[in-house]
Chain A
Amino acid sequence: MSASATPVLAVRGATKRFGAVLALENVDLHVNAGEVLALLGDNGAGKSTLIKCLSGVHRLDAGTIEIDGEPIHMSSPAVARAAGIETVYQDLALFDNLDTTGNFFAGREEAGPSWLPLPMRWMKRGDMAKESAKIVGRLKINIPAKASYVGMMSGGQRQAIAVARAAAFASRVVILDEPTAALGLRESRQVLDLILRLREEGCAVIVISHAMDHVMEIADRAMVMRRGCVVGEEVPRPENRSRLVSLIVGGED
């Protein structure tokens, strides 16, 4: 959690409009390597819009995004991925009909020879399987034998695979949209442990969550948004939990 001089990802004055609706208004955000930042707020507060801007799905109307202090024009999801930012959305974007390895490497299959056009290349299935076993081992995720289809796995395992895929290919930031919303107790535990492991490895993590217990446990900082603005920031501790909640619901500030 040692705050390096420049944050891995910094946003300044982010503003985004959808027609007459001001979805983001002058939002500042920064996250450091090895830090978990929780993004809190009621529905419609602008959390999802913000992370979509960070992952290149939407473009900011005003404001800047910096990676390691360098401004970047986040024009598409590909630009975000190339900058080392991976996002796990709520629907996970998993392929139920592929196995773990297939899911990890979807869209970035290791294949050759390089003189052939990409779709015609022969997949290096052994290399990919080895690499995916390494990822599974490194992140200590608990999933069944490599041959089984992701469609046959439990909700927690599926979430773990989606998070592991993002973590494996994100060199800088992993963004998670409500990673435990659809999970039971035990399954949530798996995913929380995984997030903590990402932090240990020096990854910057941004988590959207409504589960205050989880935020209290894993987040180093919590940022609260309301109606497109940042309304407060706290270090989540039991004693300021009620203050965070009142920031979210918009009680007395």
Chain B
Amino acid sequence: MESAQTEATAAHEAAPSTAKLRSMSAILGALRIGPALILILLVALMSYLSPVFFTTQNLGNVLVQSAAIAILAIGQLLVILTRGIDLSVGSTVALSAVVGATVYAETDSGAATILAMILAGAFIGVLNGVGYVYGRIPHPFIVTLATLSIARGLALGISGGQPISGMPDIVTAIGGGSATWIAAWLPNAAFLVAGVAMVIGLMLTRVVWGRWIYAVGGSPEGARRLGIPRNWVLVSVYVLSGILAGVASIIVSGRLNAGSPTFGTLAELDCIAAVVIGGASFLGGRGHVGHAIVGALMIGVIRNGMNLLNIEAYLQLIVIGLVIYLAVQTDVIRGNLESRFRVLKAAAE
């Protein structure tokens, strides 16, 4: 292959060109901001193709539609950073919704409803984290696949398979209301997403817990040897992912003023796609909250834009599938480029 050849020649050259190193680091830099760039291009393209797309009303729709995915994607990001995966979040949205609707019907209390929804999410998160770490299951895929089924089953059982209508005002305001004091089209859910993103973003970059997440993702064995409480860190990301599924459920059930056992179907795949499309590495250790947000917005823009253009649903699925493939391919290319960069640099030393 050509790449193998250039690598070999580079290693043999006494002084490989610094120009080559510079161009490679430029490409790597471009790959890093790539997803945000693609999002901007997508928005420009959709605005050009559809006169309706770039209206405040529609942009508000995009934000509302992306909000739940964005919250789930932030939770999924935490898990993926530790080389894990959480398949249960879609079902957790449903469980959390029916639990919330049931509690509201019983207590008529907004605070109790929200607390119950968060706790339902945390419950599934604890099952995931403890099941994976202390059950010594080889990969979180299996544990979260099990809870995907269990949470959906619980949701169907509690609700008797039927949507439970009625959610407290605070929930409908979060999920369906807009910030009329700023602009009527600006959904409240967008502020919730921004708040969650800011808190988790700061935790990841400024707080010891966040540093440990990256360390565990970078080298699980190294983390253990340097005294980082790896098991505790792993449990914490699954619990937080569950809690954020509860928060996403508040948005979904608020928007529809109901709790349904069918909420969140396939949402786990959307949020995994968002994390990967946004530019975080599926292999763990790399990525930040911005990636999750950009990815969620990209999925939202693609869906919304294609709806406006009357493109059929099956084509949307194919397009999103292709985007996921391209995103992971980019991640692989980035990895290869980096190792070539390393070889060149070693030769240049």
Contact = CB atoms under 8 A, between A and B. Distances in A.
Interface of A: 77-78, 81, 89, 91-98, 102, 106-109, 111, 118-123, 125, 142, 144, 151-157, 184, 186-187
B20 interface: no
Contacts of A108: 226-227
B206 interface: yes
Contacts of B226: 93, 106-108
A81 B206 CA distance: 26
Contacts of A156: 346, 349
Nearest to B211: A109
Contact of B211 (A81, A102, A152, A186): A102
Interface string B87-127: 00000000000000000000000000000000000000000
Contact of A95 (B219, B227, B342): B219
Nearest to A78: B227
A205 B273 CA distance: 49
Contacts of B286: 97
B169 interface: no
B349 A120 contact: no
A184 B347 CA distance: 10
A106 B342 CA distance: 23
Interface string B316-349: 0000000000000000000000100110011001
Q: What band does the interface of chain B fall in when counting residues whose beta carbon is under 8 Å from A? A: 20 to 34
A93 B342 contact: no
A106 B222 contact: yes
A111 B223 CA distance: 18
A186 B217 CA distance: 31
B218 A122 contact: no
Given A97-B285, A107-B215, A120 B208 contact: yes
Contact of B208 (A94, A98, A121, A155): A121
Interface in B45-97: none
Given A95-B285, A96-B218, 19 more contacts: A94-B218, A94-B219, A94-B222, A95-B215, A95-B219, A97-B286, A106-B222, A106-B223, A107-B228, A111-B207, A119-B208, A119-B229, A121-B207, A122-B207, A125-B206, A142-B349, A154-B345, A156-B346, A156-B349
A107 B232 CA distance: 13
A121 B211 CA distance: 11
Contacts of A184: 346
Contacts of B232: 119
B299 to A, nearest CB: 25
